[in-house]
Amino acid sequence: MSVEKTMMNVIVDTGCANLSSVKFAVERLGFQVTITDDITLIKNADKVILPGVGTAKHAMANIRAKGLVETLQNLTQPVLGFCLGMQLMCDSSVESSDGKKVDCLGIIHTDIIPLNAENNRLPHMGWNTLTSVGDHPVFKGINIGDYFYFVHSFAAPISEYTLATCQYGSSFSAVIAKDNFIGCQFHPERSSKLGSKIIKNFLELAL
């Protein structure tokens, strides 16, 4: 039996959309994965994916209602966030209907702010290139100039936690990381072969 078939990978059910597309993207690579909000399963997983679509306010309300805040904050295995899932790892976000600051998980110490798109249309939606790529196993086979699929109007500024950048009016963090937590502002599950490579690299990270 192959190594990946014996590992337990989970997608956290945050109550947001796109869970099925993330699950399909993982399974297409030959890995098994379970969508769950069960605290025990999440704690015992080998790899955890935190997806998200919608607003930070709505997603954090779901996470709190499910009693998952402390569980997610204390995970020690590799965790990969997709788009809003990445933003939820940060200290706060102003992505709410009233524009007020939303307290997030506080794992990666940066804040999500409106994307300074200059004269470009928002949301930043479609394919864009990475303008810098850091040294991390999740980037194996990924290079500056590679295209990924973005859909967002809010972003993490460049900081000490930035692993990759993108330009849309201004530069922003395309990937951030701290310890075992990694977050992609783009959607790996929608980013064709290169997005699949990011997911595969993550699932094959040494424990």
Which residues have a catalytic role annotated?
A: 83, 187, 189
Type of residue numbered 187: H
Those residues with Cβ within 8 angstroms of residue 187's Cβ, 6 or more apart along the chain or in another chain: 18, 82, 83, 148, 149, 150, 151, 195
Those residues with Cβ within 8 angstroms of residue 189's Cβ, 6 or more apart along the chain or in another chain: 18, 21, 22, 24, 25, 51, 82, 195, 199
Is there a cis peptide before residue 114, judged by omega within 30 degrees of 0?
Answer: no
Q: Check residue 34 and report its DSSP letter.
A: E
